[in-house]
């Protein structure tokens, strides 16, 4: 899982994955939006491959890449737990702020007026 998050930690690689979500791309096509060399693009692609996020296939002299969604689904599942946690915490904060705004003490202590 850490290799997936390492790969996703770079904006260039995230953009490459987004492009691959629309279908196969050559290394040249993946490099084009960044105006980078094919060697630099290949380094990014190798990180994505090592994380299992893409598969590269060689057809003649052309290297075609395609998205492998399995590791992304696993990362999404792992993050979903924390999404529920933070949503609950933010809901509690919102309620606390709403009560503060209306002047209602959310947890009055002994001797404190509402």
When pLDDT is cut at 50, 70 and 90, the band that residue 109 belongs to is low
55: number of Cβ within 10 Å: 14
75: number of Cβ within 10 Å: 17
- The residues, any chain, with a CB within 8 Å of residue 12's CB and separated by 6 or more, are 34, 36, 44
Asked whether residue 57 is domain-assigned, the answer is: yes
Whole-model pTM: value is 0.69
Instruction: Render pLDDT for 17-58 as a digit per residue (tens, 0 to 9).
Output: 999 999 999 999 999 999 889 899 999 999 999 999 999 999
Element (H, E) at 19: helix 11-20
- The residues, any chain, with a CB within 8 Å of residue 6's CB and separated by 6 or more, are 47, 51
Return the CA Rg of the chain.
Answer: 23
Asked whether residue 113 is domain-assigned, the answer is: no
- The parent domain of residue 49 ranges over 2-69
CATH code assigned at 47: 1.10.10.10
Query: Is 5 a residue whose pLDDT tops 80?
Result: yes
């Amino acid at each position: 899982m850490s290799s997936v998050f390492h790969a996703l930690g770079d904006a260039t690689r995230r953009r490459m994955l987004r492009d691959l979500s629309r279908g196969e791309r050559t290394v040249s096509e993946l490099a084009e939006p960044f105006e980078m060399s094919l060697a630099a693009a290949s380094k990014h692609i190798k990180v994505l491959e090592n994380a299992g996020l893409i598969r590269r296939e060689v057809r003649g002299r052309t290297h075609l890449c395609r998205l492998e969604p399995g590791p992304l689904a696993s990362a999404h599942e792992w993050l979903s737990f924390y999404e529920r946690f933070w949503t609950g915490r933010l809901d509690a904060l919102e309620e606390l702020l709403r009560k503060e705004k209306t002047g209602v003490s959310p947890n009055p202590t002994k001797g404190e007026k509402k």
